[in-house]
Amino acid sequence: MYSRAYKSAVTIPPLLWVTAFLLVPYALLFCCSFWSVSPQQTIIHNWNLQNYLQLIRNPIYLSVLFRSMRIAGAVTLLALLLGYPLAYFLSFHAAKRKDLLYQLVIIPLWASYLVRGYAWKTILGSDGVLNGLLQYLHITRHPVEFFLYSPFAVVLTLTHIYTPFTFLPIYASLEHVPRNLVEASHDLGASPWSTFRRVILPLSLPGVLAGATFAFVLTLGDFLAPLLVGGASGIMISNIVVSLFGAAYNWPLGAAISLCMLLLVLSLLFATERLERKLTLS
Amino acid sequence: MTLPMAQSVAAPVRTDSLLSIREVVKRFGTRPVLRSISLEVASGEFLTILGESGSGKTTLLRLIAGFEQLDGGEIWISGERLDQIPPHRRPVNTVFQSYALFPHLNVFDNVAYGLRAKNIAKTEIPNRVAQALDMVKMSEYARSSPARLSGGQQQRVALARALVNRPRVLLLDEPLSALDANLRRQMQIELKALQREVGITFIFVTHDQEEAMALSDRIALLRSGFLEQIAGPREIYGRPASAYVAQFVGQTNLLRADVQDGLARAGPLRWRTAETSKDVVFSLRPECIRLVTPAAPLQPADDSIARFRARILNQTFGGAMDTLELDCGSSQSLRARIASPGTLSGEHEFEFRASDAIAVRDEESS
């Protein structure tokens, strides 16, 4: 079919790219995670498992990891609760306004992540929009401090940022539900609610799974939102990695955490893919 | 163009009427799709709604199923107003054109879907599903996924899924159109047998006139939103109400005749008629034209048989029957279908019975 030259021309550049900018760095990261740092702040190449042992022994790392997973779980849940009904409404009931509403959901994605992060900072701060409103309405007397610099603020910001990512695959899967199946269900005597539960929801589960995976994985690796609105109590695992590679200058420990995170995310993706295949085949 | 007589061709109200469609109107936006359709469907009847695409036949079916809302008129089922009931409470079931089997459920669960939706006792469900699958000879596929079945098998499952609910009326939306010709003929026979067996009223939508004639007790022919004629297959073929019906159901010759004193003339052809108006269009089926053999008796003097000489323009071999294109002179041509006479050429004598020329309504010429 295709000439050898053509095949090489299309496959070799991307392979080189992935090797140079993905596989080699991962290999370096992998090696680095078994090295250590000397008291003089230089990296010494004595191979050992100290970094990994430290991750298990020092409770701070595990507790921040669990907090990150809790935040990621909360964001995933909220994004699904917001994204699914929206996608359902758009796909089944929006009729002529479908395209407009779809654009309205997509447009926030064009705005810079930082802009959206700072926007929440302005809204939630002690002299921010929300506290101003609450005081103006005499609901509170003093600014509420926990709005900003808390896990709550991180969850709120990340839910806002990642809900479109959850919405999109759900919307796509709902659009792919054949409408004559919905009619067939009504025809066979199933009420609208029963039709949703027994036909629409099962057929859109692959989209739900993909959307949930997006929200969870993207949140788990996020470090900007905690930096902007998280404060001390909202620190996530990626913030620790950032500081280890930066101010703390402990690349080996940072590399070890990164690899653990990578493994965690990969096994999650593997599991959801297996589940999705099972859902679509049955 | 005069208005086709939608109301006047509706069948008289029958005493055994199960489904009553009364002056039903449907528009999509400003475009009228159905313009005052009235018809009665008898209990246990196999009624076919026949029409070309865009005639409104599928829309009529979807109105009965409840997937579309009426813009006018009423639909009644055994004395109850049907069109105000939501689709999931109507005592009718549909077999969809593309079958619409649930891909995430196996054959058994597809068939059980309607029973579960109606909260039929759990102990009763396996029996009824097994019965329905047995009826369409699909018992051994109960655990299969619909995706693994052939088109014909999916068709059978779709039938079982609808019939298991024991609907008052079964609606079938071109259910055989996706099947290849051989399977299609086989399914036609099975479908007809099945309908006799279960005794449920079938309303069958198709654009295939042969299929309609093979299956139906009556055929309702729709044309751009009007009911053109409703009658049994033999009557609709033998006594078409209009030129359109005559051409749509089977092939025909349309003869524009000049009638005077009980004699119709079209080119060199003349035959006796009871029509009194001056310009009449007659439909003459190709198989009503016969080749006159030397042994044939002389032409009767009363013009009850029209005899004419014609030149054979073309002969198409068709197995048992050949199709002849005839030039009768005076630019009057005819198509004849006669039992294979061997190869013919030149001029021959042909005839047809005057009673086989059927006067039809023809809105294009009037």
In tens, the pLDDT along A126-142 reads 788 888 888 888 888 88
Cross-chain CB nearest to B104 (options A186, A191, A202): A202
Residue type, A97: R
* Domain-located, residue A130: yes
Asked if the Cβ–Cβ distance from A188 to B66 is below 8 Å, we say no
Cross-chain CB nearest to A180 (options B86, B98, B104): B98
Query: Which residue's entry shows tokens 């859902």?
Result: A279
Kindly report the nearest CA distance between residue A276 and chain B, in angstroms. Answer: 13
Residues B40 and B182 grouped into a single domain:
yes
**Quick one: pLDDT at residue B366?**
40
Asked if the Cβ–Cβ distance from A188 to B165 is below 8 Å, we say yes
Residues B242 and B266 grouped into a single domain:
no
Residues B241 and B261 grouped into a single domain:
no
* Domain-located, residue B170: yes
- Which residue, of B229, B246, B263, is where some domain finishes? B246
- Is some CB atom of chain B closer than 8 A to the CB atom of A184? yes
pLDDT band with cut points at 50, 70 and 90 for residue A76 = very high
* Domain-located, residue B9: no
Residues of B in contact with A194 (CB under 8 A): 117
* Domain-located, residue B5: no
- Is some CB atom of chain B closer than 8 A to the CB atom of A190? yes
Task: Assign 3-class secondary structure to A224-278.
Answer: HHHHHHHCCCCCCHHHHHHHHHCCCCCHHHHHHHHHHHHHHHHHHHHHHHHHHHH
* Domain-located, residue A160: yes
* Domain-located, residue A176: yes
CATH of the domain at B39: 3.40.50.300
Angle, nearest 10°, between helix axes A59-93 and A237-245? 120
Residues B63 and B138 grouped into a single domain:
yes
What is the Cα–Cα distance from A32 to A52, expressed in whole angstroms?
12
* Domain-located, residue A209: yes
Q: Under DSSP, is residue B314 helix (H, G, I), strand (E, B) or coil?
A: strand
**Quick one: pLDDT at residue B4?**
42
Mean pLDDT, chain A, integer: 91
**Quick one: pLDDT at residue B12?**
46
* Domain-located, residue B199: yes
- Is some CB atom of chain B closer than 8 A to the CB atom of A10? no
Q: Is the sign of the CA dihedral B158, B159, B161, B167 positive or negative?
A: positive
Residues B237 and B295 grouped into a single domain:
no
Asked if the Cβ–Cβ distance from A188 to B93 is below 8 Å, we say yes
Residues B168 and B311 grouped into a single domain:
no
Listed range (A20-24, A160-164, B148-152, B359-363) with the worst mean pLDDT: B359-363
* Domain-located, residue B3: no
* Domain-located, residue A10: no
Asked if the Cβ–Cβ distance from A181 to B102 is below 8 Å, we say yes
**Quick one: pLDDT at residue A201?**
95
A164: containing domain:
59-246+265-281
**Quick one: pLDDT at residue A46?**
86
CATH of the domain at A94: 1.10.3720.10
- Is some CB atom of chain A closer than 8 A to the CB atom of B28? no
B131: containing domain:
17-246
| Domain tally, chain B | 2
Residues B74 and B139 grouped into a single domain:
yes
pLDDT band with cut points at 50, 70 and 90 for residue A40 = confident
* Domain-located, residue A108: yes
Long-range contacts of B79-88 (CB under 8 A, 24+ apart): B82/B19, B86/A186, B87/A183, B87/A186, B87/A187, B88/A185, B88/A186, B88/A187, B88/A188, B88/A189, B88/A190, B88/A191, B88/A192, B88/A195, B88/B117
Residue type, B138: M
Q: What's the average model confidence in pLDDT over A94-114?
A: 88
- Is some CB atom of chain B closer than 8 A to the CB atom of A98? no
**Quick one: pLDDT at residue B178?**
80
**Quick one: pLDDT at residue A139?**
84
Q: Are A128 and A147 in contact (CB under 8 A)?
A: yes
Burial label, B277 (beta-carbon count in 10 A; 0-12, 13-18, 19+): exposed
Residues B314 and B273 grouped into a single domain:
yes
Asked if the Cβ–Cβ distance from B113 to A198 is below 8 Å, we say yes
- Which residue, of B246, B276, B308, is where some domain finishes? B246
Residues B202 and B264 grouped into a single domain:
no
Joined tokens for residue B78: 């055994």
Closest CA in chain B for residue A194: B117
- Is some CB atom of chain A closer than 8 A to the CB atom of B165? yes
What is the Cα–Cα distance from B169 to B44, expressed in whole angstroms?
9
DSSP B92-143: EEEE-TT----TTS-HHHHHHHHHHHTT--TTTHHHHHHHHHHHTT-GGGTT
Residues of A in contact with B110 (CB under 8 A): none
Asked if the Cβ–Cβ distance from A187 to B93 is below 8 Å, we say yes
Residues B219 and B269 grouped into a single domain:
no
Residues B152 and B301 grouped into a single domain:
no
Residues of A in contact with B96 (CB under 8 A): 180, 183-184
Residues B324 and B206 grouped into a single domain:
no
Count of all residues that appear for chain A in the document: 282
- Is some CB atom of chain A closer than 8 A to the CB atom of B59? no
pLDDT above 60 for A117: yes
Joined tokens for residue A220: 């788990």
Q: What angle do CA A163, A274, A281 make, to 5 degrees?
A: 100
The CB density around residue B176, as the number of other CB atoms within 10 Å, is: 23
Asked if the Cβ–Cβ distance from A185 to B103 is below 8 Å, we say no
ipTM, 2 dp: 0.83
CATH of the domain at B281: 2.40.50.140
Which stretches of chain B drop beneath a pLDDT of 70? 1-15, 364-366
Q: Is the sign of the CA dihedral B204, B210, B214, B220 positive or negative?
A: positive
* Domain-located, residue B209: yes
- Is some CB atom of chain A closer than 8 A to the CB atom of B76? no
* Domain-located, residue A26: no
- Percentage of the residues of chain A whose pLDDT score is greater than 90: 63
What is the Cα–Cα distance from B216 to B229, expressed in whole angstroms?
14
**Quick one: pLDDT at residue A282?**
53
State the count of interchain CB pairs (< 8 A) between A and B. 67
| Domain tally, chain A | 1
- Which residue, of B225, B246, B267, is where some domain finishes? B246
